Amino acid sequence: MMMKAVGFSRHGGPEVLEQLELPIPEPKAREVRIKVKAVALNHLDVWTRKGWPGLKLQMPHVLGADIAGVVDAVGAEVTDVALGLEVLVNPGLSCGACERCLKGEDNLCRSYGIFGEHVSGGYAEYVCVPRQNLLPKPKGMPFAEAACLPLTFLTAWTMLVRRALLQPGETVLIQAGGSGVGSAGIQIAKLLGATVITTASTEAKLSQAKKLGADHLINYATHDFVEEVKRLTQKKGVDVVFEHVGGKTFEKSIACLPRGGRLVTCGASSGNEVQLNLTILFYKRISLLGSTMGSKGDLFRILQLVEEGKLKPVLDRTLPLAKAAEAHELLSNRQSFGNVVLTP
């Protein structure tokens, strides 16, 4: 039995993505097989497709971390999951036995991996995942919307709640609020009681960011965001900068911080080489915080907040799986607000 998938056999631009016919996977003893209904794109897909030094993948490689679907088969040792159950996939993979995993810090496990990056993911009709990676899909939520939740919201939650320790009454600058992680960050920051300043490249995106709760809007294509932050804060600066853009914004993001400010970053979509003035760093006692994904356990709390209507997925559009290259172009050219989702 074969299934349709989209993957690549060499690194490069969107043109390397190709339609594949692959064997339908069989679940191992502690795995479940999911019939994929929707898979959301992330910048991780773009980076993995392009490749980086030291990345070794089994080719052809299938992308896709944010998966929503229906349980189709279970392994011999899985006894508590019913066929037909509507689920989300927690994208993080870890050993489950080391000190970090047992402390609830599984994203710090030495063997940590992510679906679609380290192993094949959800750009396919079926995917097998460990039982512990299953999450209940929010009741009544369409699969395409549900697929927007796991990676982006877990990443943003970890950045603001676990790493930056954002507090009520503080001010946070969310860079690129029109991205998947940025739109999640706006909502989480407001939930925590912070004042949110966000940037975007168009007035349309800023309007959508306002609807998500952003208090102040900066069009970085027409205004210097550092000067705007100074104006909006009466030159005080922001307590926290939520960074994931990298090269084009990093140095100026630091300039938005006062003494004791914190910058937390999870990505470098515009480049990973930055300049850093160490004198400013130690003189102003700035904290630079790296963040990647988060604990599996935190996603249960995030989904509870989604069920309560306090957080919501941001779906830009859906495209058929065969148009994965087009979806990558949309993401790379910043032509979407929130997540682009593929449906097999």
Residue 307 lies inside a defined structural domain of this protein: no
Answer whether residue 140 shows pLDDT above 80: yes
Residue 301 lies inside a defined structural domain of this protein: no
**What is the pTM for the complete model shown?**
0.94
Q: Based on the fold, state whether residues 17 and 106 are members of the same structural domain.
A: yes
Q: What are the pLDDT digits (tens) for 20-39?
A: 999 999 999 999 999 999 99
Q: Based on the fold, state whether residues 135 and 52 are members of the same structural domain.
A: yes
| CATH number of the CATH domain containing 205 | 3.40.50.720
What sign does the CA torsion over 33, 39, 40, 45 have?
A: positive
Residue 27's domain spans which residues? Answer: 2-149+313-343
Q: Based on the fold, state whether residues 43 and 137 are members of the same structural domain.
A: yes
Q: Based on the fold, state whether residues 127 and 183 are members of the same structural domain.
A: no
Calpha distance 238→170 (Å, rounded): 8
Q: Based on the fold, state whether residues 181 and 285 are members of the same structural domain.
A: yes
Q: Based on the fold, state whether residues 120 and 171 are members of the same structural domain.
A: no
Number of domains in the chain: 2
DSSP 137: P
> What does the DSSP assignment read for 1-34?
-EEEEEEESS-SSGGG-EEEEEEPP---TTEEEE
Q: Based on the fold, state whether residues 45 and 13 are members of the same structural domain.
A: yes
Nearest to 81 by CA among 146, 131, 38: 131
CA of residue 314 relative to chain centroid, distance? 12
Residue 188 lies inside a defined structural domain of this protein: yes
| CATH number of the CATH domain containing 55 | 3.90.180.10
Q: What are the pLDDT digits (tens) for 252-268?
A: 999 999 999 999 999 88
Residue 253's pLDDT is 93
Q: Based on the fold, state whether residues 99 and 227 are members of the same structural domain.
A: no
Q: Based on the fold, state whether residues 201 and 279 are members of the same structural domain.
A: yes
Q: What are the pLDDT digits (tens) for 179-229?
A: 999 999 999 999 999 999 999 989 999 999 999 999 999 999 999 999 999
Q: Based on the fold, state whether residues 194 and 141 are members of the same structural domain.
A: no
